[in-house]
Structures are given as C-alpha cells and as structure tokens.
Amino acid sequence: MLGEVALGWCEAGQVPPTGIAAKPLAGLALLSALAATPHDVLTLQQLCFDQGLDLLPLSPARLCPAIDAAEQGDVIALTSQLKAIRGMAQISLDLQWDEPTDLQSSGRDWLTSRRKRATRSAMAATWLIDLARTLQLQASPVELRPGGAVIHLLVRRDALPSTETLAHRAGPLDLSGARLTLIGPWPPIAFAAAFR
Amino acid sequence: MSVEMRMMTAGEALGTAQTRLVDVVDSLLGHGVVLRGELWISVAEVDLVFIGLDLVLAEPGKIMGSRKC
C-alpha cells in the first residue's frame, strides 16, 4: 500500500529530487516520499544519493520513530552521524563461487559438496575481512552466503576503488574460479545502524 | 589466483532478478538477520551426517509493514 515513508536525514538546505519532501526538523531535514515497498524506499534513497545529497538513510517503515528521535533530542547524535557520512559512499563486495547445479549421485557426494561450500564461504569471509583491513576501510560485519560472502565498505565518494585495485590487493588465498562483484556506490546504508 | 571481476551499479542491482544479488539488496533493506548453523558428524574423516539450520530473526514491524503516525 502506498504511504509516506521516511528516506533519511540530510543537512538543512540541500535540495531533494522532485517528488521527495524535505521536512525541516531540529536544524536538519527529514526526507520523505510516497512509497509502497521497501524496494521503492531503497530506490528513492539511491535517487537522492545519485543527485549528490549526503543522506543518512533510514530503514523502511521508520517515519514515526525518525520524527520521535528528533523531537526527543537525539539531534546531537544525528548531526554527528551525518558528519561522519559526509562525502562517503558504500560499496558492496560479493565474493562467490558458482554453486553446482547438477544433482549429486550419492549422499556422500552431497556431503562433500556441502563441506566445500562451507569452506568456500569461510575463505571468502577471510579474504574480504583482510581486504578491508589492508585498504584501511570501515567495514560492516561480513555476511556468509552459500559458497561465498558479502561485505559492505565505507569509502570516499570521490575515490571509489576499482576492481583492479581490489584484485591487486588480493591476499594469498587461492580464489581460482571465484567471482568478485563490486556493487555500488550506494548511500551508506550499512553504516547508519543506530537509526535503523 | 584467478578471480573474475565485475562491477554493477546500484541501479542495476536494484533491477536485477539474479537471486544472489537480490540477497545483497535484501540485506540492505534490513529485513532481519539470518542465523545459519551447520554441523557435520564425521568418523575417520568420512562425513556421515550433516545438520543445517537457518533462522530468520526480524522485528515484526519490519515484516508486517509500516505503522501509521
């Protein structure tokens, strides 16, 4: 159902894209728009980000708590978070191996494939954590996925790393056959947890 | 080491139908936390039994939708 949802906070005076309202609150601006699904909210947040706004994103369905937080005096924390993400972006790194699509011929084969999958997830997690450490970037907790892992990194918007840079920094682990997908830049969604 | 590299814009990820990338987008939406546990029982380095458990923990409001002011 279509309803007004909060998209996030930005500093007062920034001009939002058409169709997005900016409600002045406590010296900041709360952006909101009509949206039906969480996916719509993410798309609108991305639109704000693409237009150059420094957006402190809120998770979907958070219009009331956002207003409450500002009215109850969380402005200092909010301002501090906004300052921390000014000029920053998030990139997501998905390192994975393709899952075998063929059916295993025996239970033992199936167990072997499951073990391989778990080993690969652990390897991917190790590699991604090491990469974030090497690049000295703030990182989200790594998320294990079947046959791989995902991590979100906070990077400067004007200095996004390329896949070549990432490959160059790759550690000694054998990642033959793996695929690294760099997705982004996004607004720093994974780094605005206090207001999610 | 040989890793296939590719880049994808946020817009492309938002419009994709690839399950894997939909998962990435979904995790950004903060629907909840997935706890995944795996247990093997092996004898003499031969895997005999596998037990897997996936739990999705989420705030009801995030699953049920927004409340009205």
DSSP helix/strand/coil, A22: strand
| Residues on chain A touching B30 (C-beta within 8 angstroms) | 59-60, 189, 196
Secondary element (H or E) of residue A31: strand A28-35
A42 in contact with B at a CB cutoff of 8 Å?
yes
| Residues on chain B touching A63 (C-beta within 8 angstroms) | 66, 69
pLDDT digits (tens, 9 = 90+) for A96-130: 988 766 666 788 888 888 888 888 999 999 999 99
A107 in contact with B at a CB cutoff of 8 Å?
no
Max intra-chain CA distance, chain B: 61
Q: What pTM was computed for the model?
A: 0.81
pLDDT digits (tens, 9 = 90+) for A67-96: 777 777 678 888 888 888 899 999 999 999
Q: How far does the CA of residue B32 sit from the closest CA of chain A (Å)?
A: 11
A169 in contact with B at a CB cutoff of 8 Å?
no
Q: Show the domains of chain A with their CATH numbers.
A: 3-86 (no CATH), 88-191 (3.30.70)
A122 φ, ψ (degrees, to nearest 5): -65, -40
- List the end-to-end C-alpha distance of chain B, in Å, as a whole number: 54
Q: Report CB contact under 8 Å: B27, A143.
A: yes
pLDDT digits (tens, 9 = 90+) for B7-54: 889 888 888 777 667 777 766 766 556 677 778 788 887 778 888 887
Domain coordinates in residue numbering, chain B: 10-64
CA–CA distance, B69 with B54 (Å, rounded to integer)? 34
Q: How many residues does chain A have?
A: 196
What ipTM describes this predicted complex? 0.76
Q: Chain B residues contacting A, CB < 8 Å?
A: 1-11, 13-14, 20-21, 23-25, 27-31, 36, 38, 40, 46-48, 50, 52, 61-62, 65-69
